[in-house]
Structure 1
Amino acid sequence: QVKTEQPNLPSTDVMDAAARARSVMEIQQDIAHRRRRKMAMLFLRLACLVLLPTLIAGYYYYAIATPMYATKSEFVIKTAGGGASGAASLFAGSALATVQDSITVQSYLSSRDAMLRLDGDLGFKAHFQNLEIDPLQRLDPDATNERAYAVYKDRVKIGFDPTEGIIKMEVVAADPETSAAFSNALIRYAEERVIDLTQRLREDQMAGARESYEEAEQAMLAAQNEVLRLQQEMGVFDATSDAAAVMGQISGLETQLQQKNLQLQQLLDNARPNQARVEGVRGDIRRLEALIADLRSKLTVAGGSSGNSLASVSGQLRIAETNLATRTALMQQALQQLEVARIEANKQTRFLEPGVTPVAPDEPTYPRAFENTILAFLIFSGIYLMVSLTASILREQVSS
């Protein structure tokens, strides 16, 4: 006997009103039960993933975190003079004139070099390795410089306002005295760096003028030594004075020679001159002429201990003295240029002027327990929301 399959037909049973109401109530109860279960799971997830981490964070900030003290300070880098000309005068005295130096100082204070120097002077690493600091903020006893530098960047905040040229610094430490000491030390480092930058600028601007002055001074000294050498070798202090003295002697002898010639003429005018007196006068004339010739030869003919004539000595000394005068004038001109360069360099001198000096705080600045707790709640809530949305999207993608 072959069985034929019966098609699935709708039920012929008709539900009465009570059964229908009971079925609707069961469905509503099931929906309410599922809703309560989902809400319970939601609150459980919120409690585990948001509220519990927030409570832990709040407990840490209120009960465990070590109070930190922040010392704030402000300073500005200025130039000494405003005598710039041309385009440079447009920015002289403004923040734009020193913005590059300010950025350099900001970079230096945020560098490892500043951290290592602060550690060497005041023990930065040892301060944050203190066992009184909570474990999350404390440095390990064997912490590396990189780890210490990470703490340094977190505890030393340097800001620069380019519109006003003000460098703002906040230094955080576990006690107010240390915080103020760290801040003062960093300001001192910044001032030394500004002085170093100024010194380099001055050296660059004055290098050429100083080199020219030194060359002119050496040339002047060489010319002076040449004059001294000629005076010592020739045994003459002042050739002009010696020549004048010789010429004075020659003039006196020529006067005597003229008198002797007149005396001889007087003797010869007699009809019977005295020959003895005539010969005596003639002898005097010959001696005077020989003496005058000898003196004149000293002026023009080489001889004597130096082997040079007085005219030659005078010429050489005059050339050397003229060279000395020229070198002296050039040295004076180079000295004036050096002074001008020094004045211009002084106008470009940078100096650090504190606006807000470091003062040790009397109350802890960090942690800000309430703000940090609220921030932790918002962060955990955001993370939970992102994870929930991602999971919902993935479920929809998988189910479809």
Structure 2
Amino acid sequence: MANDQTPTDSESKIPPKRTRAYLRKARQKARRIGLEATDDEHAARLLEELGVDVLNDDVSLINVGKTADSAPAQQDSTDLIDNVSANFMLNDADRLAEVHAIQRDLIRRRRVRLFLLMLRLLFFVVLPTFLVGRYYYTIATDMYETQSEFVIQKSEAAGASALGGLFSGTGFANSADSITVQGYLTSREAMMRLDDELGYRAHFQQEFIDDLQRLSSDASLEDAYELYEKNVKVGYDLTEGVIHLEVIAASPEISQAFSNALIDFAEERVDELSKRVREDQMDGAQKAYDTAETEMFAAQAEVLRLQQSRGVLSADAEIAAQMGIINSLELQIEDKLLDLAEILDNPNPNVIRSDILEREIDRRIERVAYLRQKLTETTSSSVSLATISGELQIAETNMLTRQAMLQQSLQLFETARVDAGRQVRYLSIGVTPIAPDVPTYPRKLEGTILAFIIFMGIYIMVSLTVAILREQVSV
């Protein structure tokens, strides 16, 4: 018979490895067939003694009996089979009671799990959200935000190019200046100047401000700058060229004062952006004009000196006068020569009259020679009119040249002034800073809802991570 045969080594089965999943399944199967086991190891050992395959889901009295018939004849195995048979031979009432007990156990476990879930949600989500809401509604100091808008513009001439006029009304025209001003307003330099003039750090070190927003009394420059970056927001709209300024402070009046001061700082910086270019252009043009004016005055003084030293107002007029005298004398000489010729043509010429005419002609010829000599020859006691005329012409030509250069310098100066006017940048305020009458921050409801969403998201991510890790470890 089967019970009298001893299985050989080849027919004996190698016991499976008892992993955690194997032990958990052994406990479940032992509970299904009614075995009373103290722990997972005991359940696995009982099933192995009965010859029940733990990994096989088909469990019944027939399978248990078959495995018991093929197993060695032992008293303990027979007792276990009897117990199993007794447990399976239950009436309908007992079976229904067992089902109800199992359902109650499942309900109890679900309630416990739901209670633990609600407890975790209460501890990790609701309680932190409550603390955040309590801070916003009861502890946080009210902050006031002052908003303003301004644009940076520059002067444009009426004859500006078509391409320049195309972009003049957009943010591209002064984008570099606007970005520079934006960077300046968010810099440490602006914060330090605001602190020096209006006491920025002292304002946020007041005792009535809550601990999270108050600046400590021994705060460093970096701590103050971090607070400044948080409370001063500067945005630039590239399409419209508008700079948006938002300043937050613990008082509406102080917020407005901070905003006005920052706008003044921005206006000064805008003026400084083109100041050096304007000054260089104007300085160069002014120096050229001053030099031309000085040289022109020197040329005029030289002409005046020559006129005074030579005693000639105009060389041309003096020469014309001298030539008029010479021409008049030569005409007189011609008349006298004609008279002398008529006298000498007589058979008995008047000697006395002819001698008088000859002496008059000689005197006039000498006078003409002297006048001509005076025009061209220079002596130790006098200077010729030709020399005087040459000196005056050179001086007058130099004076005219200097006058032309002065006129050109004046035109260049006016051009530089116009160009410098084009380089002028100025700040136009679109939205004037107005002190708010109600606190802007904290936004209590929005902040509380945001905190709830953040804590819930963190809880869900951590729960999913733990569940995945637990599943990976149990497999």
TM category (shorter chain) comes to 0.7 to 0.9
Q: Name the structure 2 match of 1:14.
A: 86
Q: Name the structure 1 match of 2:73.
A: none
Q: 1:170 aligns with which of 221, 237, 246?
A: 246
What is the 5 A alignment of 1:189-228? Answer: 189-200=265-276, 202=278, 206=281, 211=284, 214-215=287-288, 218-219=291-292, 221-222=294-295, 224-226=297-299, 228=301
Q: Name the structure 2 match of 1:32.
A: 107
For 1:271 and 1:252, the matched residues in 2 are separated by 28
Q: Within the alignment, does 1:300 sit opposite 2:372 as a pair? A: no
For 2:300 and 2:467, the matched residues in 1 are separated by 104
Rg: which structure is higher? 2
Query: What is the identity, as a one-letter code, of the residue corresponding to 1:302?
Result: T
Q: 1:354 aligns with which of 405, 429, 438?
A: 429
For 1:131 and 1:252, the matched residues in 2 are separated by 112
The answer on whether the counterparts of 2:302 and 2:395 sit within 8 Å (CA) in structure 1 is no
Q: Name the structure 1 match of 2:460.
A: 385
Q: Within the alignment, does 1:53 sit opposite 2:128 as a pair? A: yes
How far apart are residue 241 of structure 1 and its match? 3.4
Does the C-alpha gap of structure 1 residues 310 and 220 become closer, same or farther in structure 2, counting only changes over 3 Å?
Answer: farther
Q: Give CA deviations for 1:193-249 in whole Å, capped at 9, x if unaligned.
A: 222234355457x46xx7467446635643552453365365354333333344455
Query: What is the identity, as a one-letter code, of the residue corresponding to 2:320?
Result: A
When structure 1 is superposed on structure 2, of 315-324 and 374-383 the one drifting more is 315-324
Does the C-alpha gap of structure 1 residues 221 and 375 become closer, same or farther in structure 2, counting only changes over 3 Å?
Answer: same
What is the 5 A alignment of 1:131-280? Answer: 131-200=207-276, 202=278, 206=281, 211=284, 214-215=287-288, 218-219=291-292, 221-222=294-295, 224-226=297-299, 228-229=301-302, 231-232=304-305, 235=310, 236-251=312-327, 271-274=349-352, 278=355
TM-score (ref. length: structure 1): 0.84
Which structure has more relative contact order (CA 8 Å, sep 6+)? It is 1
How far apart are residue 70 of structure 1 and its match? 0.8
The percentage of counterpart residues that share the same residue type is 49
Does the C-alpha gap of structure 1 residues 260 and 130 become closer, same or farther in structure 2, counting only changes over 3 Å?
Answer: farther
For 2:169 and 2:274, the matched residues in 1 are separated by 16
For 2:261 and 2:342, the matched residues in 1 are separated by 107
For 1:212 and 1:297, the matched residues in 2 are separated by 50
TM-score (ref. length: structure 2): 0.72
When structure 1 is superposed on structure 2, of 341-350 and 86-95 the one drifting more is 341-350
Does the C-alpha gap of structure 1 residues 344 and 219 become closer, same or farther in structure 2, counting only changes over 3 Å?
Answer: closer
Query: What is the identity, as a one-letter code, of the residue corresponding to 1:229?
Result: E
When structure 1 is superposed on structure 2, of 323-332 and 266-275 the one drifting more is 266-275
Query: What is the identity, as a one-letter code, of the residue corresponding to 2:298?
Result: N
Does the C-alpha gap of structure 1 residues 315 and 368 become closer, same or farther in structure 2, counting only changes over 3 Å?
Answer: same
Query: What is the identity, as a one-letter code, of the residue corresponding to 1:358?
Result: P
When structure 1 is superposed on structure 2, of 357-366 and 218-227 the one drifting more is 218-227
Does the C-alpha gap of structure 1 residues 348 and 38 become closer, same or farther in structure 2, counting only changes over 3 Å?
Answer: same
Structure 2: which 5+ runs fail to align?
A: 1-5, 8-47, 52-63, 65-80
How far apart are residue 139 of structure 1 and its match? 1.0
Q: Within the alignment, does 1:87 sit opposite 2:163 as a pair? A: yes
The answer on whether the counterparts of 1:73 and 1:168 sit within 8 Å (CA) in structure 2 is yes
How far apart are residue 155 of structure 1 and its match? 0.7
Q: Give CA deviations for 1:80-134 in whole Å, capped at 9, x if unaligned.
A: 3364214223212333322232222222212222112211221111111112211
Structure 1: which 5+ runs fail to align?
A: none
When structure 1 is superposed on structure 2, of 47-56 and 17-26 the one drifting more is 17-26
Does the C-alpha gap of structure 1 residues 297 and 370 become closer, same or farther in structure 2, counting only changes over 3 Å?
Answer: same
The answer on whether the counterparts of 1:227 and 1:317 sit within 8 Å (CA) in structure 2 is no
Q: Within the alignment, does 1:67 sit opposite 2:139 as a pair? A: no
Q: Give CA deviations for 1:234-275 in whole Å, capped at 9, x if unaligned.
A: 535433333334445545655666677678778877745448
For 1:229 and 1:50, the matched residues in 2 are separated by 99
When structure 1 is superposed on structure 2, of 257-266 and 195-204 the one drifting more is 257-266
